[in-house]
Structure 1
Amino acid sequence: MHVFALTGGVATGKSTFCRLIRELIPPAVIFDCDAAVHALLERKDVADRIVASLGAEVEEEGRLSREKLRHAVFQDAGRRRTLEAILHPLVRKECLELKQETAIRDQSPVFVADVPLLFESGFDFGYERSLLVATTRETQLARLKSRSGFDDTLAEAIVAAQLPIAEKLPRADVVFWNEGPEEVLRSQISRFLQTLDLMSEEETRQQKESRRFQVGGRSRCRHRGPGRSRSCRSRTGARSRAGL
């Protein structure tokens, strides 16, 4: 079983990447850190710890408010670190449990953990390669501001709270550039899976024919591994909101 850590920045398209992996490799198992966090915030014991640590201003009508929590932690680095110290160990525990269950079942060739703060937090769960979905900062902000509830100030604060994509690029083992249409990202993922013998060129061709897409632009994928360095970034002038 191949084990990968997927990362990127907010609004770079990690969710789209996970969906495409599932479409290309249906047995793939995905662990979503954001979904795990959302579930943890619904737990009373976790919510009580957060309120006790950050104060009653993150509550609304006696319950933890995600919106108030988001504004509080992205505008105060100290509070953000406090929240992460509560949540990250719990999320890592769930990730390790799912990884172990997947290995025992032995029915999936791929396990991917979507970890937004992989490099920032040192979230290690025993992965073989780190995969980065990247865009420019301008694209991140444009996509984020198009979402409901994200004004300019909050969008800038959220992007600033994460390690810049430019600093993540040299740390990632494989980079997927997601500035263009979704089909370009799909092509990059397909080529990466071919290098692992998880997809054949014929399977890729058949999928392209079945989708009947005409995709412009050029793409390439950068891989770093023992004794080799290949590239897998896409270049295209087009921009889309795929991955929102």
Structure 2
Amino acid sequence: MMNVLGLTGGIATGKSTASRLFQELDSDCVVFDADRCVAELYANREVLDRLSGLLGVELCLSDGSLNRERLRALLFGDERVKLKVQGLIHPLVRKECLARKEKALTVGTTTSFIADVPLLFEGGFDFGQEANLVVAVSRETQVQRLIMRNGFDEATVQAILEAQLPIETKQDRADFVFWNEGSESLLQSQIKRFIENNYQ
């Protein structure tokens, strides 16, 4: 029987690290990365044309790739724009997630299918999961990581964080929480214990 799990957290809490650790600890675990799926969609010219038409703004650079700075400015500048973009992109991501889940199920040896979805709760992302996992850190740690890792200024960081549910709210909604303030080995031990206690 394949376990179906949602994995989320806030930006810079360590979701990608947790996904990698799940796969390292369980070679039969399949992870769907929603961020990667969105990146693939944004590299699709047909999707970009639909998005440009929806917003009435040209979003492609001269080489045909997405003008990420322009899209980011539009998303954080107007809630209506964000909802329009999500209305187009989220159903496409969910469709791909369900297709990957079905493929993982047909393999027969897959132990767990985990969908790493940043807006799991915000978007009501339902793909038939039996539990939702959250990777959490303090807001102060999120701010520090975003400034150091991405080079964002304080205003950009705060805008990004305000666009997401507070990490405390996500913790309250989670079935399991992994606390990621320490070293990677501490996160690994939490995930290892979770696998041993719940799915073996």
What is the TM-score when the length of structure 2 is the normalising length? Answer: 0.94
Q: Is the 8 A contact 2:5 2:114 kept in 1?
A: yes
Which amino acid is the alignment partner of residue 94 of structure 1?
E
Unaligned runs of 5+ in 2: none
Once the two structures are superposed, what CA deviation does each residue of 1:31-77 show, in whole Å capped at 9, x if it has no partner?
A: 00000000001111110111112233634326331222122202322
Equivalence map 1:15-54=2 (5 Å)? 15-54=16-55
Which residue of structure 1 lines up, in the alignment, with residue 68 of structure 2?
66
Equivalence map 1:1-244=2 (5 Å)? 1-56=2-57, 58-61=59-62, 63=64, 64-198=66-200
Matched residue count: 198
In 2, Cα distance between equivalents of 1:154 and 1:76:
14
Q: Is the 8 A contact 2:23 2:29 kept in 1?
A: yes
In 2, Cα distance between equivalents of 1:40 and 1:55:
19
Unaligned runs of 5+ in 1: 199-244
User: Which structure is higher in strand share?
Assistant: 1
In 2, Cα distance between equivalents of 1:148 and 1:11:
10
In 2, Cα distance between equivalents of 1:44 and 1:104:
31
Q: Which moved more, 1:34-43 or 1:45-54?
A: 45-54
Q: Deviation at 1:197?
A: 4.2
Q: Deviation at 1:151?
A: 2.1
Q: Deviation at 1:147?
A: 2.6
Once the two structures are superposed, what CA deviation does each residue of 1:79-134 show, in whole Å capped at 9, x if it has no partner?
A: 11111001000000000001011111112101100011111110000001000001
Which amino acid is the alignment partner of residue 39 of structure 2?
H
User: Which structure is higher in helix share?
Assistant: 2
In 1, Cα distance between equivalents of 2:199 and 2:33:
25
Q: Which has the higher contact order (CA 8 A, sep 6+)?
A: 2
In 2, Cα distance between equivalents of 1:137 and 1:117:
17
What is the TM-score when the length of structure 1 is the normalising length? Answer: 0.78
Q: Which of structures 1 and 2 has the bigger CA Rg?
A: 1
Structure 1 residues 61 and 197: alpha-carbon distance in aligned structure 2, compared to 1, 3 A threshold: closer
Q: Secondary structure at the match of 1:118?
A: coil
Q: Is the 8 A contact 1:119 1:168 kept in 2?
A: yes
